[in-house]
Structure 1
Amino acid sequence: MTTTTAPTHTHTRSRLAGQLAELGVEREGVLLVHASMRTVGPVSGGVGAMVGALQDALGQGTLVVPSFTPENSDTSPHYLDRVRGLGERDREAVRASMPPFDPATSAAPSMGRLSEAVRLGEGAVRSGHPQTSFAALGPLARKLMADHSPDCHLGEDSPLARLYDLRAQVLMLGTGFDTCSAFHLGEYRVPAPPRRNYRCVVTAGGSRRWWEYEDIVLDDSDFAELGADFTRAGAGARIRTGQVGSSTSRLYPIVDAVDFAADWLPAHRAGAAARALCHSSG
């Protein structure tokens, strides 16, 4: 879900930076951004000016974005949607056409224009996970992006945990809580989270190959509901809402989001499973 007001004019970098400061973006801080440029509206200078406005608001802070690549996996919802209705030969053709992940060159088209602009920015650093990498600009970029374990999407060995340790802020720039990657770290912090196998294309020894690994089950299907409860709960007092460009945006501490999710998920998902079992026809 995204939130927006009808755009009435082209937004300038200086005005956007001022709105971000008014919203509460901390100078010299660390900021994780999920963005919809469509809801922000027209920006003079395009997406590069939006990146500049974020950097202006941060000063010497560090800007972080998701740079996920579900396009190189045959276990992702993206792939399953792409091959739905295809025969086995056509499925194999799709799999054969998938390029291996390269942190220096692999695009992340499903993450949106702002994430791609940060990834391609001068001095940007990208983490090494072949499906759920992040990209960052700023003095802490290299520290935050280092040591992203290839078998840990969004858990303790990922940039999300480093952002939590540094008490980063999260900015939902015209996007809804259904896109909140911070909630995924909460999934790792519930007791005995369910696990599954994942598979994607990587480069090993100079050759393209498929790699399979195990990690926890990632499920964002209830994140909008989780976000609504997060907003209503006591933590909601620390969620700041305001206009940035033509969008209604939200800013909050990542620690609050992760801790709330870790408490919320076990009860709500267990309850949903129990209800499904009670109503099962089998």
Structure 2
Amino acid sequence: MTQPPSRPATAAEITRQFTDLGVRPGDLLMVHASLRSVGPVEGGADALLHCLLSAVGPGGTLMGYASWDRSPYEETLNGATLADDERSNWPAFNPATASVYPGFGMFNALLTGQPGARRSAHPDASMVAVGPLAATLIAPHALGDAFGPRSPIERFIAHNGKVLLLGAPLDAVTALHYAEAVADIPDKRRVTYEMPLLGADGLKHWYKAEDWDSNGILDCYAIEGQADAVERIATDYVATHRPPYGKVGNADCFLFPARDIVDFGIAWLERRHATR
């Protein structure tokens, strides 16, 4: 049910819409949200979050992609360097206090402020989780394990998580980076970068890492202005699998079983790019 623009949706309406979409008590959800798409809600974004927490109940867990608004990923990508004074003054990543990268939606910033919220230790690929599985999901999260094996995404899939697109576009399905990482295809792109972390001595140290290129796993998916592999896989999944769809507020929403869409993504990539 789409809400008329002149009247904010009530908490009762939003909670019912989550239930109608297929959210159930005890669910593990990775949420990608566009607050603008949802539109006005009585109580604002905080109320929207609490409606979702109510829908999954005390046995449910929410996870989001927080990243870090001071991540020096681009500044150190593939051998790029910072000036000495920039490097010296750059803050060390602290999961307890680091701010969230706003480009992935401010809903995740709300998650970090929830009681019991846990934040993972990878600055650029930092995840936040709230609920009984939070600690299990977020640690470990080492540099070089951004979205593939040993990452929170792998554990999210293993625990039968669901991906909730809450008004977010199809290119937002972060779990599909796991499919890119494990798909057996040639010529996958790798990147190097550096991150400032607090060492065991309590001081800042810069650490180098190498990982799969989440901005384009193959050259053909890294062309500016064209859809990447995540968007193409998710679009084909929606067209062929007809996952649960509904409205929450004014937002178009999908609920994907993570293991199913990731398996689809692996097969999609290997079918198109298998070693010949």
Given residue 71 of structure 2, which amino acid in structure 1 is its aligned partner? N
Q: RMSD of the TM alignment (CA)?
A: 2.7
Query: Within 5 A, what are the aligned runs for 1:240-279?
Result: 240-268=244-272
Greater Cα offset, 16-25 or 149-158: 149-158
Matched, 1:226 2:233: yes
TM-score (norm 1): 0.82
Q: Give, in whole Å, the separation in 1 of the partners of 2:249 and 2:123.
A: 33
Q: Which runs of 4+ in 1 moved over 4 A?
A: 91-97, 267-271
Confirm or deny that 1:185 pairs with 2:178.
Answer: yes
CA shift, 1:158, in A, is 1.1
Q: CA deviation at 1:96?
A: 5.0
Match of 1:200 in 2: 195
Identity of aligned residues (%): 31
Work out the number of aligned pairs and report it.
Answer: 257
C-alpha displacement of 1:150: 2.7
Partner of 1:108: 100
Residue correspondence of structure 1 range 1-282 to structure 2 within 5 A: 7-60=5-58, 61-69=60-68, 71-75=70-74, 95=87, 97-110=89-102, 111-191=104-184, 193-204=188-199, 205-219=201-215, 221-233=228-240, 236-237=241-242, 239-268=243-272
Kindly tell me: are residues 197 and 59 of structure 1, through their superposed partners in 2, closer, same or farther at Cα, counting changes over 3 Å?
A: same
> Structure 1 CA distance, aligned partners of 2:264 and 2:215?
16
Q: 1:92 to 1:137 in 2, by over 3 A?
A: same
Call closer, same or farther: CA 1:5–1:71 in 2, change over 3 Å.
farther
Describe the shift of the 1:269–1:27 C-alpha distance in structure 2 as closer, same or farther (beyond 3 A). same
Q: Secondary structure at the match of 1:47?
A: helix
Unaligned runs of 5+ in 2: 217-227
In proportion to residue count, which structure has more helix?
Answer: 1
C-alpha spacing 1:167/1:99, structure 2 compared with 1 (3 Å) = same
Instruction: Note if contact 1:25-1:169 (Cα within 8 Å) is conserved in structure 2.
Output: no
How far apart, CA to CA, are the structure 1 residues paired with 2:42 and 2:89?
37
Residue identity in the other structure for 2:135: R
> Displacement, 1:196?
2.6
> Quick one: distance in 2 between partners of 1:222 and 1:7?
34
The answer to whether the 8 A contact 1:63-1:138 is kept is: yes
Equivalent-residue separation in structure 2 for 1:53 and 1:140 (angstroms) = 19
- For 2:93, the aligned partner's letter is F
| Corresponding position of 2:224 | none
Gapped regions of structure 1 (runs ≥ 5): 272-282
- Match of 1:116, SS state, is helix
* Structure 1 pair 229–28 and aligned structure 2 pair: CA distance change class (3 A): same
User: Does structure 1 retain, via aligned residues, the 8 Å contact 2:119–2:129?
Assistant: yes
The secondary structure found in structure 1 opposite 2:269 is: helix
